[in-house]
Amino acid sequence: MIPLSEAREFVLSKCVQGPAVTVPVDDAADLVTAADLAAVGPIPPFDNTAMDGFAVRAADVASAPVTLSMIGTIAAGAVPDITVGEGQAVRIMTGAPMPPGADAVVMVELTNMSEDQTTVDVSESVPVGNHIRPTGDDVQTGQVVFQAGTVLRPAHLGVCTSIGVYDVPVIARPRVGVISTGDELVDGPRPLGIGQIHDSNRHTLLALVNAMGATAVDLGLVPDDEDQIRDAMTAAAASCDAVITSGGVSMGDFDFVKKVLTEIGDMRWMQVAIKPAKPLAFGTVDGTPIFGLPGNPVSSMVSFELFARPGIRKMMGHAEPVVATVAGVAGADMLRGPDGKTHFARVHATMRDDGRYEASFSGGQGSHQLSAMAAANALAVIPSGDGVHKGDPVDLLLL
């Protein structure tokens, strides 16, 4: 057995950051910027009002209550072609540009307009600049809004378009093929024959890949047949940036994934000192990284979290490919025996009043018990030994 860190370093050494490309902003979510993004103009681009109300000269309302004469209305999007003179006010709507002459906004709640809309009573004085959002208050011209290496979340995309960047330089989104292997697997809601099970891994893995911002490519089910596995693996490596398979990497007689990948790829077969997910096949076929995950549903997910996710994050340009654990507390005893392996227990963690996560088992810990994985929101990292007791510190990998 080799330590988790060694296996993961090997994986990361073969996963290479993708090329820099320019993509439309609506295709950029969850990608990492490949260059600094600077604002070509200020945000907001002009002085505007943060409130519906009246644009006034602060000096005119200093002795409020006062009555001003109403000389017009400016809506959002309008050109501010009215100049506010002494004793005058202009009705103005949120987001509309400030008219020349005015230096403050009185919100509508502090005003009372005459029925014929020729005058407005202002009940309180306001300071210069009141409710005005000045030019460049959020971002100034030339300011680097995001440095290279920023992960683009929804708010970032909004900032991109607000500074006029509709095509964004990013590290390309990798296409990750997902293949299930096994004669026992059935696709779709068909009744099961004797010895058959529904393929669950592929659907879970496709969703995990998409959720992390890569593009999952469904490459279907392949039976335990050497030729079909060879064809599927070769085609997958040629058409995708990375490939994830599940099943067929253990010690069984029909574990042909292992045999085929040994022939066509540059693979390393690892027994990692972890439970679940001890067997891992990882290497490259024609330069494309291949993650050969174990078939047991929980094992394939844990293996994805520990190896495939960091590898794909590196390909996507994340500065920290390995997701850090957080320090939590055991909410109940989580006992085990010493076996030289780090256990990744399926746990449910809740945030305590003191801001720490408290975790306990989310269900059965067998590597076939996928329902406990579904009920889990974290994996508890339990080092080899007798386990942890209620109240002990425990590291958590949040899912």
Q: Which is nearer to ligand AMP, 31 or 209 (CB)?
A: 209
Placement of tokens 């009246």 in the chain: 54
Q: Which does 317 bind (CB under 5 to 8 A by kind): Mg ion, ligand AMP, none?
A: none
Q: Which is nearer to ligand AMP, 197 or 351 (CB)?
A: 197
Q: Which does 292 bind (CB under 5 to 8 A by kind): Mg ion, ligand AMP, none?
A: none
Residue 91 Cα distances to 58, 108, 132, angstroms: 15, 9, 14
Structure-block tokens of residue 191: 């009744």
Q: How far apart are CA 157 and CA 168, in angstroms?
A: 9
- Shortest distance (Å) from residue 180 CB to ligand AMP: 4
Cis peptide before 189 (omega within 30 of 0): no
Q: Which of residues 108-167 bind Mg ion (CB under 5 A)?
A: none
Q: Which does 85 bind (CB under 5 to 8 A by kind): ligand AMP, Mg ion, none?
A: none
- Shortest distance (Å) from residue 224 CB to ligand AMP: 8
Q: Which of residues 112-141 bind ligand AMP (CB under 6 A)?
A: none
Taking CB under 5 A as the criterion, the residue among 18, 99, 247, 279 binding Mg ion is: 247
- Shortest distance (Å) from residue 175 CB to ligand AMP: 20
Structure-block tokens of residue 226: 């050497």
Listed ranges 8-16, 82-90, 249-257, 266-274: which one lies at the site for ligand AMP (CB under 6 A):
249-257
Q: How far apart are CA 131 and CA 92, in angstroms?
A: 11
Taken as a whole, the chain contains a residue count of: 399
Q: Which is nearer to Mg ion, 68 or 185 (CB)?
A: 185
- Shortest distance (Å) from residue 312 CB to Mg ion: 24
- Within the chain, residue ranges assigned H as helices are 4-14, 154-162, 201-211, 226-239, 256-264, 297-303, 309-316, 370-375
Residue 28 gets the label, from left (phi > 0), alpha (psi -120 to 50) or beta, of alpha
Residue 374, interface with ligand AMP (CB under 6 A)? no
Q: Which is nearer to ligand AMP, 252 or 338 (CB)?
A: 252
The upper half-sphere exposure of residue 115, i.e. CA atoms within 13 Å in the direction of its Cβ, equals 0
Q: Which of residues 191-210 bind ligand AMP (CB under 6 A)?
A: 197, 199-202
* Residue (of 58, 211, 195, 32) closest to 125 by Cα position: 58
Taking CB under 6 A as the criterion, the residue among 48, 125, 180, 369 binding ligand AMP is: 180
> 138 φ, ψ to 5°?
-95, -55
129: CB partners within 8 A, 6+ apart? 58, 103, 104
Residue 177, interface with ligand AMP (CB under 6 A)? no
List residues near ligand AMP by CB under 6 A. Answer: 180, 182, 184-185, 197, 199-202, 246-250, 252, 294-297
List residues near Mg ion by CB under 5 A. Answer: 182, 247-248, 295
